[in-house]
Structures are given as structure tokens and as C-alpha cells.
Structure 1
Amino acid sequence: MACSPTELTRLLNSTAAADYICHHLSTNSALTTDTTTAINAVYLLFSSYLVFSMQLGFAMLCAGSVRAKNTMNILLTNVLDAAAAAFFFFLFGFAFAFGSPSNPFIGSRFFALSSFPTASYDYDYFLFQYCFAAAAAGITSGSIAERTQFGSYLAYSTLLSGFVYPVVVHWFWSNDGWGSPFGPTLLFGSGVIDFAGSGVVHLVGAVAGFWGAFIEGPRIGRFDHNGKGVGVKGHSASLVVLGTFLLWFGWYGFNPGSFLIIAKAYGESGSTYGQWSAVGRTAVTTTLAGATAALTTLFLKRLLVGHWNVTDVCNGLLGGFAAITGGCAVVDPWAACICGVIAATVLITCNTLAEKFKYDDPLEAFQLHGGCGTWGMIFTGLFARKEYLQEVYQDRPAASYGVLMGGGWRLLGAHVVQIVVIWGWVSVTMGSLFYVLHKMKMLRITHEEEMEGMDVTSHGGFAYNLEDDHNSKTKTWDAYNNMGLENPPPQLQA
């Protein structure tokens, strides 16, 4: 509200009093604006820290899911995923993703954060988006674990975080993108609603990992001579559970943090209902989708295999999170429960198909992030609620919403297109990279290295210090890998 000294002077009969009042009102208004900006910046920075903590979750989950002889290797790749993503997202990725104004396909400004910050973007926003890029790269590393040359990790991580992932971000999250819900020309008159990235993050990382694992082939001993699957279990369920809880914790930054700001009222100022309410609802839908997916996985696997398996439940939980990520802000809590139940079913089905077709993914990353991420985009097209879309996407010119909520087919149609183009784009780029590396014999390690373990062949030692005064390192390590058996069966040796 503007303060006019001229108008106040007429009421107060004092120019000095009018000037004094207007000066203080202007000062307080500026302070309020600064405070709101600072609150929103702190909220986004804190969300960034939560998302970054998922890197530790990925590292622990990956370490627990591989055999002990490859622990150091997978931990190092997780560290380098975060480091490489930071450098190359800084140089190129952010510009390709958010370098507006630009064309609908790729950004063209802010390389190496030049001309930064701007009225639209500040450093907190860059940090938040970098953490997402690192998460996408971390998904891929699990698919190709235990058999990939270390140099190939650096190559794929660089290309994914610096180019492939940012281009997809531009398509669906930049205002200039052809699939954005804010663009002047909306896809199917709707645009894509992928709030925190079931497609943009999870499906991109999963498809990249799929081509790496498919071109490399399964690990030695994963399938017998008759093609029957042989269980190759990770060495630490404790690390798997620790990683799962860390990822759960980080998801509260991943999904609610994607609002970017929190100090925003819906309606008149002074209302008790605002963006903070939507943030809370998003945290609830995220929790319920993961929880129901975990419980569904628990009982379905009990029926299928006859026992309760903590690793399967952890993966089911994460599958529920991956599925709800796209629509977490625009669906009701009851719909999130449906999302989790079906996500668990999708994950189990994808694992069954992977076994049938002899596809080996040590982390079930493609099945989890790809299968459940795809379901998440379809789910949003079915259950997105009109009122929530109008609140969360206030500048969106379209009125389309979920099919089952009475909103027609346009939103769902846009999401089907998103799924198809992500598959096509990542397959052409990352699939080509993995194929070239394979042809140049730079992708997979040798048979001998795989049998020995990558820690000792590529990284100069073991992740665990098992040497004592009476036994050689090799003897102790062999005993540890073979569970202390003097004459382990052949499949255990493999």
C-alpha cells in the first residue's frame, strides 16, 4: 500500500507529520520484503542440504547392496558423482537447463554462472538444482555396479549431469521449455506436471542405468548355465537400512523443497492458509506413498517367497517415494496411498521381468526408479486435483487436471509424451555413450578383475581392514568373502 504525503497532509494539517509517517511505513515495508526474501532463501538452502544428504543415503544403500570386495569402488563412484555433477553443472548444466530467455529445447545463458545472480535466479536456486543433478547421476551408478571400469563412471557422470539431464530439465521445468506448464504454447493444452521429478530425475537416471547394465551384461555368477537366476546378495543389510532412512530423510527436501519458497499466502494476506500448508501436505503425501509401498512389498514378498525380507521392503519404500515425487504437491493423501500400493506392485513385476530376461541391476535401480517413476507420471495424470493445481501452479494458463478427478485426458496425454521422449533422448545419448565405450573395451572390467573384486584390482586395497598378525591379507579376505567357509560352493566363490 503506497503512502502519499500529500494526501496525509490534508488529513493531518502537518507536512512534517505526513512525511514522518510515510517514511516509516516505507521503511517497514522494505524490511518486511527483505525478511520474506530471507525466509524463502533459508527454506530453499535448507531443502538443498536435505537433498544433498541423499548422496550419503545413495552411498550407504549402494555399499550395502554390493559384495564386500567392491565396497570401496562403489563408495568412490558415489563421491565422484557428487563432485563431477557440481563442476559440470556449474560449467554447462545450469545454463542448458535454465538459461532463459532461450528456445524451447535448450538454454543458452549463465554458463559458469556468468551474469549471476539475476532477478529470477540466485545462488540458492543453483545449489538446489545441482543437488537434483547429482541425484540423477547417483541412480545410474547403482545399475552398473561391480563390473564397470572406473573411467567409464567419470565419462557417464560428466555427460549425464552436464548435458543429458539438464536438457530434460529445460523441457519440463524451464518457463521456455516445450513441455513446461507455463509456456506460451502448452503441450496438449496442458503441459507436464512433474513437480519434483518422477520423470525428470528418476526416469532419466533409470534409463541411463538401463543401457549401461544392458550393454555390459549381467555379473559373473548372476545366472547359471540354464539361465536361472542365482541370488548375489549385498554384504550388509545394515548399510541398506541406513541408506534407506537417509534417503527418506532427504526426500523431505526433495519433494516439499521443490516449492522453492514457503512464505506465500493463498488468498488475502494474514490468512492461516498458504504455501506452508501445501508444503506440509506434500510431506504427508510423500510419507504415505513410501509407507504404503513398504507395507505392500512386505506382504506380497511374504506370499511370493515365504519370508520377510528387509532389503525388499527398503526397495519398495523407495519405489513409493520415486512414484509420488511427480504429483506429491497436487494429490490428496488418500491418493498417495493408492500410489504406494501400485508402486510396490510395479516394482515386484519389473523385478520378475528382469529375472526372466536376464537383466542384472544390483540396486534394482532401473526397476525402482524407472518402473515406479513411470507409474508416478501416469498417477499424476490420473489423480491431480484441480484446486491444488490452481494453488501450486497459479500462473499456469491451463485448466486440465487428473482424469479420475474429472479433468479430461490432456494432462495424462502430456505425461505419456514426456515418458516417451525421455526414453528416446536418454537412449540416444547415454545408450550411444555406453555402446561406444563397450566397443572400445573401456566399459567392463576383465573376468579376472571381477572375480578378484574391484577394491583390490582398481583401488589399491579393501574397504574393510581384516588383516591380523597370524593370517595374510589374501587369506583373511577370502575367508570373509566366503563367509568363513574353508571349502565354499562354486556359486559362492563367483
Structure 2
Amino acid sequence: MSNSFYSSCAILYEGETDAVLQCITDKLQAETQKAALDTHTWLLVLSAALLFFMQAGFAVLCAGCVRKKNVQNTMLKNLLDACGAALAWYTTGYAFAFGQPGSGETSFIGTGGFLYIGDVDAAYWFFQYAFSATAVTIVAGTLAERCQMTAYLLYSLFLTGFVYPMSARAMWSSHGFLSAKQPDPLGGIGAIDFAGSGVVHITGGMTALIAAKILGARKGRFYDSKGSPLSKPKHFPGHSIALQLMGTMMLWFGWYGFNPGSALLLGVENSGPIAALAAINTSISGASGAITAMFTELYLEERRTGGLSFNLTMAMNGLLSGLVAVTASCALIEPWAAGLIGMTAGWIYVAGSSLLIRWRIDDAVDAIPVHLFSGVWGMIATGLFTAPTRILTAFGSSDHVGWFYSLGRGEVDATLLGNQILAVLFLLAWPLGTITPFFLWLNYMKWLRSDTLEELVGLDMAYHVNAPTVLRDDDVDEKALAELEERKHKKRTGQEGAP
């Protein structure tokens, strides 16, 4: 390569030594920059692929959490998440989130980049698509076993094409009003969400909460057949704890694309050490959440019953809660802080799961306490634990740091903490104001919830032609099954509606 550079430069400058040497230097520097850019692009694509693998983790986890009569339907909905998100992100989502309205302007919505038209960075597009798909699939498990297919696809398109992009723009675009990437960020620092505790998990978790409230609980979960509240809610255990664990571990693996991969977006030379720190903190927080949730539940169970029981479900969801919580600050905190954040997330999950039952909100996979509650904690924790040296390395300034570090300086600077709280309020309010009327409209159109017969039989039998006829080891209502078969027969023979 250097010989070809020398030959071309020698011919160009006819043997002028200084000019030839400068020409060779310029060409080598350009070649090095191109190689660095190619490497950065490949790493971003690989990180996005690792992040996208979380779709498989969610699918396996959700499949294990539902009863056998709903497995195929749940898996299809997870597939539709990724498909709907891809189409919505391509048409409007990316443009609304990262479209450029003009140099240096702050705007709520982007106006360029629709249908991948214009100056769009392909690797960045793909990386952000993987994030948007993750936000959508959070809701899949919450609505399992009673949501219609039509409603699910429509919601996927709406969330990725309109709702999620505004959250992403506000926090991550250089034109977002809360973004730390702003030329003149709010309070001199903006609000920081390094990899999505707020943008992805609060948005997805809040959507899940709204949808679950409007959709209602599964039949028999909190109320009997006459509509009277049960003295003790009925537990609907998933059919495979092994699939749940496999899905959880796949999600943990994918998180290393989620958090360390986000370091590639900082635009700094030392993104490698930042990514490595993010990986360490991700591991510590997740592990702390798992141990804390499991042993807290162990203690509470011993106090209630006098016996000891190690709850794998609590450990798995505590792990995910710790991962969610540290996502906002994974590259900005010390490892000891990651441990505290994960520990607190474990307690938040245990309390949040019990709170949902008290509120009679049916969440088949406990996605709401894992993603929404822990996401809120993760954003606030960023305002408390962000270390001066870490934020200086990542963002080039340590004027505003975590509140605890500010107190250690003898200051009372709560700028970052205040911005984080403001961001949380926005990320809660935006889905509340947009998703609520959307789901109310779906409910009004009777497109949201499957009817009672379909739910009793199972959505696999109701919606899928290759579903098994009867699952004897599951709670299929055989009377309802016979009624459903009769309904299908009438529809096939043109007798639908006949007495």
C-alpha cells in the first residue's frame, strides 16, 4: 500500500521530496481514518445485532411464562413486534426521532429521513431500530393470553412509528430539548440516559401499564365467574420455568450490546474503555438485583409461612430489574454504585410486583415492575451516582455531577438530578397522553381483547390453524372448546349467526 502511495505521489509531485512526503503522509492518514470508520461501523452493526438478539430472549421468556394453550400466539406476537417495528421505523419512526429540522434548532419532532431518504447513517439507523423494537416487545408479555392479534400489530406500528420516537428525540437527538447532546443543553448538562433506562424501558413499561389497565385481567385471575373479587388472586403459572431461565439469560447476553454498544455513539476516541466499564457495571448491577430479590423474597416467605423457599422467578426478574436500572448510568458510575443500584432495583421489583397484585393489574410476566419501576429508579440513580471522572471522560465536562458527589465537593448542585427527574416526568407523561386514547379507541372498536370463549380455550386454538386440538395437561375448558369448534364449523359452512 505504501509503495503505491509513493508511486502516485512521486508522479504527482515529480520527485519534490517534501511534497512527496507530505502527500504520502496525507494518504496514510486518510487510509487510517477510513479503516477506523469501517471498524466503528462494523462494531455498531454487531452491537445492534447483539441487541436485536434480545427479541429472541423476550420471545423465549414470554413463551415460558404463559400456559401451553397460548404459547404459539405469544411467540407470533413477539415476531410481529420486530416486523411492525421495522416497517414503522422505516416509514416515520427514524425521521421523527432523529430527522434534522435545521442546524442547531431544538424541535419536538423531526422532519427529514422518512423512508430512508436523504443523508442517513445506515449503521446508526439499524442500531436505533434495534432499540425501538426492544421498547415495543416489553409489552408483549404483559398482555399475553387475552389480547387480539389485530390490536397487537396496530399498537406495534403506533408505538414505534410515533410514540417512542418522541421519547428518543427528546433524550438522544442533538435537537432534543432534554438531550445532553444539545449544543446548549438544559442546565449546561441536559438529562442523561446513556443506553435507555428511560427512553426504552420507561416508555415500554408505561405503555404496558396503560394497556394492562384498559385491557383488564385474565379470566379468573382476580374475579370469579360472577365478577366478584377473589379473596386471594389465582396464580397462573407459566408452563416452562426452563424457557423462562433461558430467555432471561439470552436477555442478559443481549444487554452487552445494549449498554457497552452505546459507547460507540459518544463520538470520543476512548470509547473502548467506556464500553468496558459499562459491561462491568451491567454485570454487577444485574447480579446484585438477582441476589437481592431472591433473598428478600426468601426472608418474606419465611416470615409468612415459617418455611424456606428459593424463588427462581424472583431471581430472574430481580436480575432483569438490575439490568434495566443500570442502563441509564452504566458508563458514568463506579462499580460499587452499580451494586447499590442493582440492589435497590431488586427491592423495587419485589415491592412493585406485590403492588400490581394489590391494584389488581394483571401482568403475565411482571414487565411493569421490571421495566417501568426500575427504569424510573435508574434515571434518578444517574442523578445521584454519576462520578466526575466518568462523566468527564464520556461527555467532556464534570461541572454537573451526581448529587452525592456534589455534596462531597461541599456544593449543593442538584442540576443533573433535577434534569433527570424532569426527564422521568416527560417520559411518563408522553405515553400516558398518547397511548391511552389509542388503546381506548382499540377497546371501543372491540379490537383489543379476545372474547371470553377464545380466552378460555386458548389463543392458539382461536387464532392458529396448526394448534394442537387439546392439551390435556393444561387448563383448557373442554366445554368452551366444543363451543369454539361449533362456531368455526358454522363459519366454514356459512351458518354463522344461525341459531
TM-score class, shorter-chain normalisation, is 0.7 to 0.9
Q: Which residue of 1 aligns with 2:479?
A: none
Q: Which amino acid aligns with 1:276?
A: G
Q: Does 1:303 align with 2:305?
A: no
Q: Return closer, same or farther for 1:355/1:92 CA change in 2, 3 Å cut-off.
A: same
Displacement of 1:186 in angstroms is 2.9
1:20-39 superposed matches below 5 A: 20-39=20-39
In 2, Cα distance between equivalents of 1:237 and 1:401: 42
Q: Which residue of 2 aligns with 1:468?
A: none
Displacement of 1:264 in angstroms is 5.0
Q: Which amino acid aligns with 1:377?
A: M
Q: Which residue of 2 aligns with 1:320?
A: 322
Q: Does 1:90 align with 2:90?
A: yes
- 1:99-129 residue CA offsets vs partner (Å, 9 max, x unmatched): 1135421111111111133xxxx20110000
Q: Is the 8 A contact 2:266 2:394 kept in 1?
A: no
Q: Which residue of 2 aligns with 1:140?
A: 139
Q: Which residue of 2 aligns with 1:8?
A: none
Q: Which residue of 1 aligns with 2:379?
A: 377
Of 235, 256, 259, 1:231 maps to 235
- 1:111-164 residue CA offsets vs partner (Å, 9 max, x unmatched): 1111133xxxx2011000000000000001221111111100011100100110
Of 241, 244, 252, 1:240 maps to 244
In 2, Cα distance between equivalents of 1:58 and 1:116: 33
Q: Does 1:345 align with 2:347?
A: yes
Q: Which residue of 1 aligns with 2:256?
A: 252
Q: Does 1:441 align with 2:446?
A: yes
Displacement of 1:262 in angstroms is 8.9
Q: Which residue of 2 aligns with 1:285?
A: 281
Unpaired runs of 5+ residues, structure 2, are: 1-13, 224-228, 302-307, 408-412, 477-499
With the length of structure 1 as denominator, give the TM-score of the two structures.
0.87
SS at match of 1:480: coil
In 2, Cα distance between equivalents of 1:238 and 1:424: 37
Q: Which residue of 2 aligns with 1:411?
A: 416
- 1:429-476 residue CA offsets vs partner (Å, 9 max, x unmatched): 1111111111222111111111000000012232xx6xxxxxxx43xx
In 1, Cα distance between equivalents of 2:267 and 2:124: 16
Unpaired runs of 5+ residues, structure 1, are: 1-13, 266-273, 466-472, 484-494
Q: Which amino acid aligns with 1:448?
A: L
In 2, Cα distance between equivalents of 1:188 and 1:86: 35
Displacement of 1:333 in angstroms is 0.5
Displacement of 1:423 in angstroms is 1.3
SS at match of 2:473: helix
Q: Which residue of 2 aligns with 1:16?
A: 16
Q: Is the 8 A contact 1:43 1:261 kept in 2?
A: no
Q: Is the 8 A contact 1:263 1:276 kept in 2?
A: no
Displacement of 1:185 in angstroms is 4.2
In 2, Cα distance between equivalents of 1:375 and 1:135: 19
Q: Return closer, same or farther for 1:260/1:442 CA change in 2, 3 Å cut-off.
A: same
In 1, Cα distance between equivalents of 2:321 and 2:220: 27
Q: Is the 8 A contact 2:282 2:338 kept in 1?
A: yes
Displacement of 1:64 in angstroms is 0.5
Q: Which amino acid aligns with 1:87?
A: L
RMSD of aligned residue pairs (Cα, Å): 1.7
Q: Which residue of 1 aligns with 2:8?
A: none
In 2, Cα distance between equivalents of 1:262 and 1:417: 23
Q: Is the 8 A contact 2:263 2:272 kept in 1?
A: no
Q: Which amino acid aligns with 1:418?
A: A
In 1, Cα distance between equivalents of 2:188 and 2:49: 36
Q: Which residue of 1 aligns with 2:52?
A: 52
Q: Does 1:480 align with 2:484?
A: no
How many residue pairs get aligned? The number is 444
Displacement of 1:227 in angstroms is 4.4
1:326-365 superposed matches below 5 A: 326-365=328-367
The percentage of counterpart residues that share the same residue type is 37
Q: Is the 8 A contact 1:262 1:276 kept in 2?
A: no
Q: Which residue of 1 aligns with 2:212?
A: 213
Of 364, 388, 391, 1:389 maps to 391
Q: Is the 8 A contact 2:314 2:350 kept in 1?
A: no
